[in-house]
Amino acid sequence: MSEKEAFLKLVETIEKFLQLSRVTGAEKKQEITMDTDIYEDLGIDSLEAMDIVGEIENVFGITVEAQEMLTKKKISDIVTYIMQSNSSN
Amino acid sequence: MTREWKYPNSKFICEKQILIKQTNIFGNTYFSNFIEWQGEAREKFLLEHPNSEQFLRENTTLRLVTHSLQHTFKNNAYLGDRIRIEVTSKNILKYSFLLNFKYFNIKNELLIGEGMQKIGFYDEKLKGLCAVPQFFLDLIIPVLNQ
């Protein structure tokens, strides 16, 4: 999987999660880039971050260290982590 | 030994009757009752599990976290009205799930309101969020509303 493919798949995963998982309903869709900080820019909290970790495991077919993943704030860092996990799994 | 069990129905149902103390100066059901009834319906649903007592006894460090909730008011309800509350689940993930609450006036089947809660879990012993316990999956998977 290329970095671009991983990025697009990650964005799709996060957008779908935000749409389905927030009880307040559909919010204005924010553009997600490699520089997006998931906590600062998307307002994701700790529970949502854990959920996203679970979804990343499902979507990418990898096992991740949840606590380590939670330290990755930027989309670019998460993509890198996914790529590394993908190659080692 | 914990025996395996799954909730046997596709939704959990409980009822409330509007009493004077639940109405406001206009005779309408005061809004906060619907939030309170979310909590009540949720609790009753969890107690449906035959192992609830054992689970609570064995998991004293586990905390159910109400992450967020929402309610939309659709129609009025008045003194004496009987309300049917239907509980289903949605979007079951590894660390959280949604509970959906629908309120119907039994007299005319009118949808009075609809609400939702996002539930997570925190373990005081581990000092962190934890996955949805099997106990809750036994209840929420059978009532999953896609």
Length of chain B: 146
Strands (E), chain B: 12-17, 62-73, 82-90, 96-105, 110-123, 128-129
Name the band, by pLDDT with cuts 50, 70 and 90, for residue A42. very high
The pLDDT of residue B52 is above 90: yes
Task: Inform me whether the C-beta atom of residue A57 falls under 8 Å from chain B C-beta atoms.
Answer: yes
- Cβ-Cβ pairs closer than 8 A, A with B, add up to 47
Name the band, by pLDDT with cuts 50, 70 and 90, for residue A86. confident
pLDDT in tens, B81-140: 999 999 999 999 999 999 999 999 999 999 999 999 999 999 999 999 999 999 999 999
Using a CB-CB cut-off of 8 Å, the residues of chain B touching A23 are: 68-70, 98, 116-118
Residue B93: how many CB atoms within 10 A of its CB? Answer: 23
Using a CB-CB cut-off of 8 Å, the residues of chain A touching B70 are: 23-25
Asked whether the beta carbons of residue B68 and residue A23 sit closer than 8 angstroms, the reply is yes
| pTM metric for this prediction | 0.88
Distance from CA of A69 to the nearest CA of B (A): 14
pLDDT at B1: 46
Distance from CA of B32 to the nearest CA of A (A): 17
Distance from CA of B33 to the nearest CA of A (A): 19
Using a CB-CB cut-off of 8 Å, the residues of chain B touching A45 are: 67
Rounded CA separation A11/B15 (Å): 42
Task: Inform me whether the C-beta atom of residue A2 falls under 8 Å from chain B C-beta atoms.
Answer: no
Contact residues of B toward A, CB < 8 A: 65, 67-70, 90-91, 93-96, 98, 116-118, 120, 128-129, 131
Where is B43: in which H helix or E strand?
Answer: helix B32-46
Using a CB-CB cut-off of 8 Å, the residues of chain B touching A64 are: none
Name the band, by pLDDT with cuts 50, 70 and 90, for residue B4. confident
Mean pLDDT of chain A: 88
pLDDT at A87: 78
pLDDT at A23: 79
Residue of B nearest to A54 (CA): B94
Beta bridge partners of B22: none
- In the block, tokens 């609790």 appear at B43
Averaged pLDDT, A59-73: 88
Rounded CA separation A66/A50 (Å): 7
Beta bridge partners of B114: B72, B102
Name the band, by pLDDT with cuts 50, 70 and 90, for residue A30. confident
List domains and CATH numbers for chain B: 12-140 (3.10.129.10)
Distance from CA of A87 to the nearest CA of B (A): 24
The pLDDT of residue B3 is above 70: no
pLDDT at A27: 61
Beta bridge partners of B17: B82
Distance from CA of B53 to the nearest CA of A (A): 27
Rounded CA separation A41/A52 (Å): 15
Closest CA to A66 of A76, A78, A83, A80: A78
Phi-psi category of A25—alpha, beta or left, where left has phi over 0 and alpha has psi -120 to 50?
A: left
Q: Give the count of alpha carbons within 13 A of B68, CB side only.
A: 13
pLDDT in tens, B59-78: 999 999 999 999 999 999 99
List domains and CATH numbers for chain A: 3-88 (1.10.1200.10)
